Structure 1
Amino acid sequence: MALEVWTSVLSLTGVALGGGLTALSQRATQRSAERSEERRRRAATEEARRAEQLQAIKDFIACAQEAERAAYSRPDPWGGDDDGWSGPAAATMTALWVAERHLVLLCDPNLHAPVHAYGRALNQAVWREIGDIEVNEHLEEHKAAFMTAARASLSSP
C-alpha cells in the first residue's frame, strides 16, 4: 500500500511538473509573440512616419520649385501688375510657407533651420529683396543646405 501511495504521489508530482512546464512554455511563447507583434507594429509606424516625412519633403520641394519659377518670371519693372503676376506669386509663397510648417511638424528638428532659411531665401528672391544678385546665385547655398539636411533627416533612424 505504501508503494501505491508513493507511486500516486510521484505520478501526481509528474503531472503537476509537466503541467507547470507546459504553462511556462506557453507563457514564454506568448510573450515572444507579443514582443514580435510590438516590433512589427513599431516598424510599420516608423515606415508610415518616414513615408509621411518623405511626402512632406517632396511637397516642399514642389512648392520651392514653383517659388523659384515665380522669382524668374517676375516682371522687370515694378509697377502695374498687368500680367497678374503678384496674385499667383503670393499664392505660391503661401503654399511654400504651409509646406515649410508641415516639415517642421513632421521632420527631424535638424531640418528646421535649413528649410526655414531656404524658404526665406525664396521669399526674398520672389519679391526681389536680393539686390543685383542673380536668383540662382542667391538660392544655391540655401537649396544645397536644405537638400543635405533633408537627406540626413531621411537616412537617420
Structure 2
Amino acid sequence: MVSEMWTSVLSLTGVALGGGLTAFSQRATQRSAERAEERRLRAATSEARRSEQLQAVKEFLVCAQAAERAAYNRPEAWGDDDDWRTRAGDAMTALWVAERHLVLLCDPVLHGPVHTYGRALNQAVWREIGDTEVNEHLEEHKAAFMTAARTSLSALPARTP
C-alpha cells in the first residue's frame, strides 16, 4: 500500500514536473518568437524610414537642379522675362517645400547644409551673388549638402535579415 502510494506520488510529481517543463518551454518559445517579430518590425520600420528619407533627398536634388537651371537661364537684363520669373518662382517654391520635407524626415545633421544650399540656390536664381559664377557660388554648398546627406543616410541602421 505504501509502495503504491509512493508510486502515485512519484507519478504525480513526474506529471507535474513534465507539465511545468512543457509550459516553461512553450513560454520560452513564445517569448523568443515575440522578440524575433519585434526585431523584424523594427527592421521593416527602419528600412521604410530610410527609403522615405532617400526619396526626400532625391526629391530635393531634383528641385535643386531645377533651381540651378533657372539660375543659369536667367535673362541678363530685366524686362520681358515674366515667363522666366514664373518658372524660377515655381522652382524655388518646390525647392523650399522639398527642403522642409528633408528637415522633417532626416537627421538634424542635414538641417544646416540643406538650408544653406537652398539659400545659395535662391541667391543664384535671383542674382544676389554679384559677379560670381553660379557654379562657383554653389559648389561648396552643394558638396557640403551631399556629404551631410550621405552621412545622414549611412547613419541609419542597416537592414537586418
TM-score interval, smaller chain = over 0.9
C-alpha distance in 2 between matches for 1:86 and 1:97: 16
- Give the Å deviation of 1:80: 3.1
Match of 1:3 in 2: 3
- The percentage of counterpart residues that share the same residue type is 80
Match of 2:18 in 1: 18
2:29 maps to 1:29: yes
C-alpha distance in 2 between matches for 1:121 and 1:78: 21
C-alpha distance in 2 between matches for 1:92 and 1:65: 9
- Provide runs of 4+ in structure 1 moved above 4 Å: none
- Paired letter, 2:53: Q
If asked which structure has higher relative contact order (CA below 8 Å, sep 6+), I would say 2
- Give the Å deviation of 1:79: 2.6
Give the TM-score of the pair, scaled to structure 1: 0.98
C-alpha distance in 2 between matches for 1:132 and 1:81: 21
- The DSSP-based 3-state class of the residue aligned with 1:85 is helix
Match of 2:148 in 1: 149
- Once the two structures are superposed, residues 33-52 of structure 1 have per-residue CA deviations (whole angstroms, 9 ceiling, x without a partner) of 00000000000000000000
- Once the two structures are superposed, residues 101-154 of structure 1 have per-residue CA deviations (whole angstroms, 9 ceiling, x without a partner) of 000000000000000000000000000000000000000000000000000001
Question: Once superposed, what is the RMSD of the aligned Cα atoms?
Answer: 0.7
Q: Number of aligned pairs?
A: 156
Q: List runs of 5+ in structure 1 lacking aligned partners.
A: none
Match of 2:102 in 1: 103
Give the TM-score of the pair, scaled to structure 2: 0.96
